[in-house]
Amino acid sequence: MGRHDDLPGGPGSGHETVHGPEDGGELAALALKILVSGGFGVGKTTLVGAVSEIRPLRTEELLSEAGELVDDTGGVAHKTTTTVAMDFGRITIRSGLSLYLFGTPGQDRFWFAWDELSQGALGAVVLADTRRLEDCFPAVDYFEHRRIPFVVAVNCFADARRYGTHEVARALDLEPGTPVVLCDARDRDSGKEVLIRLVEYAGRVHTARLLESVGAQAGPA
């Protein structure tokens, strides 16, 4: 899983063929893999479901009494289910560009799946809840250590205190330039703006790394 040839809905290369609207020519359609991560109960499944143009695949199970011993439900006492493998959805950002969304499980005991899911990902969205900001620390550390570009999307719950993006960035001790955006995970347009911001940022990061690599290989004149 994680390679372009494993993505549902696309041929082996991860590119699909679409016809140009005017000249009847063909263009390569690009399919990009995006992770949606964060702590337990932060809204990952909600975000994937809100933006997906297909019926999202969900792997949710009811919370059990055994799970209550290891899952911290403080602040999300209303939550009755949890993702045990992944969520999956798809959204077309524009003609020729589709995003495949993989929502990761939030609990530590399911982290063995993260390495597999992250293979081939362009970048990630780390959802944050200011009532439980520390819950997204592990996701931030994970992507920073693996140099996977990510944006932090603060899911603005009605009963949560509002903080500015700069305050959140300082509290998370993010690397300079890492975007922080405010969002409503239930709203399709809000979620789409988060994804667009991620694609733009990840594109700049990957381009800069490519140029740096080419420059290093060329060596001094």
95-138 pLDDT, tens digit each:
999 999 999 886 666 667 789 899 999 999 999 999 999 999 99
The pLDDT value recorded for residue 8 is 40
pTM: 0.76
216 pLDDT tier (thresholds 50, 70, 90):
confident
| Mean pLDDT calculated for residue range 152-167 | 95
Reported confidence tier of residue 191, pLDDT bands at 50, 70, 90? very high
Q: Name which residue leads in pLDDT, 85 or 216.
A: 216
pLDDT at 221: 58
Is the pLDDT at 67 greater than 50? The verdict is no
pLDDT at 204 > cutoff 50: yes
AA identity, residue 46: T
Model pLDDT, residue 63: 43
CA distance linking residue 67 with residue 97, whole number of Å: 39
pLDDT in tens, 15-63: 444 444 444 444 568 999 999 999 988 999 999 999 999 998 866 444 4
Please report the pLDDT score of residue 10 as a whole number: 38
CA distances from residue 220 to 110, 179, 211 in whole angstroms, order as listed = 47, 33, 15
Q: Specify which residues 180 forms β-bridges with.
A: 152
pLDDT averaged over every residue in the chain = 81
Pick the more confident residue, 64 or 172. Answer: 172
Residue 62 forms beta bridges with which residues?
81
Residue 86's SS3 state is coil
Q: How far, in Å, CA of 94 to CA of 214, rounded?
A: 30
Q: What share of the chain is helix, strand, coil (3-state, %, to 5)?
A: 35, 25, 40
